[in-house]
Amino acid sequence: MSDRLTEDVSKLQGQFSTLKVEVGKVLVGQDEMLHRLLLGLLAGGHVLLEGVPGLAKTLVIRTLADALEGTFSRIQFTPDMLPGDVVGTQIYNPREGTYSVKKGPVFGNFILADEINRAPAKVQAALLEAMQERQVTLGDQTFKLNEPFLVLATQNPIEQEGTYPLPEAQLDRFMLKVKVGYPTREDEVKIIDRMAGSGSEPHASKVMTCDEILAAREVVRHVFVDDKVKRYAVDLVAATRDPKASGVAALAPLIDNGASPRASIALVKVAKAQALLSGRAYISPHDVKTIAHDVLRHRVLVSYEAEAQGKTTDHVIAQILENVPVP
| Residues 209 and 254 grouped into a single domain | no
Q: Pick from 214, 234, 269: which residue ends a domain?
A: 214
Give yes or no: residues 169 and 252 share one domain.
no
Q: Tell me which of 192, 214, 236 is where a domain ends.
A: 214
Same domain, 80 and 227: no
**CA quadruple 106, 109, 115, 117: dihedral, nearest 10:** 60
Kindly report the CATH number assigned to the domain that includes residue 283: 1.10.8.80
Tell me: the pLDDT tens digits for 66-124?
Answer: 888 888 888 888 888 888 898 888 887 888 777 788 888 999 888 888 888 888 888 88
CATH code of residue 162: 3.40.50.300
Buried b (16+ CB within 10 A) or exposed e, 286-311: ebbbbbbbbbbbbbbbbbeebeeeeb
pLDDT attached to residue 256:
86
80 and 204, same structural domain? yes
Residues 6+ apart with CB under 8 A from 214: 147, 148
Query: What value does the mean pLDDT take over residues 123-134?
Result: 86
Final residue of a domain: which of 189, 214, 239? 214
Q: Clarify whether residues 51 and 127 are in a common domain.
A: yes
Asked whether residue 297 falls in the same domain as residue 201, the answer is no
- Based on the fold, state whether residues 49 and 133 are members of the same structural domain: yes
Residue 155 sits in the same domain as residue 252:
no
Enclosing domain of residue 285: 223-323
Specify the higher pLDDT residue, 233 or 119. Answer: 233
Task: Give the separation between CA 71 and CA 52, rounded to whole angstroms.
Answer: 27
Split into its structural domains, the chain has a count of 2
What residues pair up with 151 in beta bridges, in sequence order? 111
Same domain, 149 and 229: no
**Which three-class secondary structure string do you get for 80-125?**
CCCCHHHHEEEEEECCCCEEEEEECCCCCCEEEEECHHHCCHHHHH
Q: Are residues 144 and 33 in the same domain?
A: yes
Residue 162 pLDDT grade (very low, low, confident, very high; cuts 50, 70, 90) = low
pLDDT at 53 (0 to 100): 77
| Confidence (pTM) | 0.88
**254 and 200, same structural domain?**
no
Residue 209 sits in the same domain as residue 135: yes
For residue 288, the model assigns a pLDDT of: 93
The H or E element spanning position 317 is: helix 313-323
Q: Burial code of 169-196, b = ≥16 C-beta within 10 A, e = fewer?
A: ebbbbbbbbbbbeebeeeeeeebeeeee
